[in-house]
Amino acid sequence: MGFNSQFTILKDNKLTGPNYIEWKRNLDIVLTAEEYKFCTYEPKPDQPAADAPKDKKDYYKRWIKADEMSRYYILAVMAARQVAMMALMNTQMAEGTPIRDRVLKMMSHLNEIEILGAELDEKTQIDIILMSLSKSFGQFRLNYNMNKKKKKTQT
């Protein structure tokens, strides 16, 4: 199996918290298929001396490579939620873009974040969407916030 197919397994089975056992099983499958799993249960060997036998040097290099790749797989998958959150927070509406397209895109980002186990309350979601709108929606944002304040003072 190649890197892309291995990563796809982990990407499609992201760690969300409650699915830790399933995620760990998939991670073990990927690391075993790539022949990296041994570094998760074998202690790190001491760096061989310059005059050490070639097999000891080769094993050390192999262990270091396996450890690096294992860490990469784990971090890449665990970082998915942060990447999705960053995509949500960093998207800005281009002037002239239809609002429908914008809201659908934001909903897609919010759904992905929810699937990855993050929780954003309704008020935060609305604030993020409002902040992402183009400058031409300034009056709309102002009206929304003013109406929200009026409702608070009336209750």
Q: Is the per-residue pLDDT at 78 higher than 80?
A: no
pLDDT for 64 equals: 94
pLDDT at 109 over 80: yes
* Mean model confidence pLDDT for the chain: 83
Structural domain boundaries, residue 64: 3-78
Q: What digits encode the pLDDT tens for the residues 138-153?
A: 899 899 888 876 666 6
Q: For the ranges 55-64, 74-83, 126-135, which has the lowest average pLDDT?
A: 74-83
From 78, 94, 123, give the residue that closes a domain.
Answer: 78
pLDDT digits (tens, 9 = 90+) for 39-72: 888 999 999 999 999 999 999 999 999 999 888 8
92 lies in the same domain as 74: no
Do 88 and 109 contact (CB within 8 A), yes or no? yes
Cβ atoms of 64 and 110 within 8 Å: the answer is no
- In DSSP notation, 33-97 reads HTT-THHHHSPPPPPPPTTS-HHHHHHHHHHHHHHHHHHHHHHHHHTHHHHHHHHHHH--PPTT-
- Do residue 85 and residue 145 come from a single domain? yes
DSSP three-state, residue 13: coil
Question: Are residues 110 and 71 part of one domain?
Answer: no
Question: Taking the alpha carbons of 116, 121, 122, 125 in that order, is the dihedral positive or negative?
Answer: negative
Residue 137's nearest CA partner among 113, 102, 111 is 102
Do residue 29 and residue 68 come from a single domain?
Answer: yes
Same domain, 71 and 86: no
DSSP, collapsed to helix, strand or coil, labels residue 22 as helix
The span from the CA of 4 to the CA of 18, in Å, is: 25
Rounded to two decimals, the pTM is 0.51
- Is the model's pLDDT at 31 over the cut of 90? no
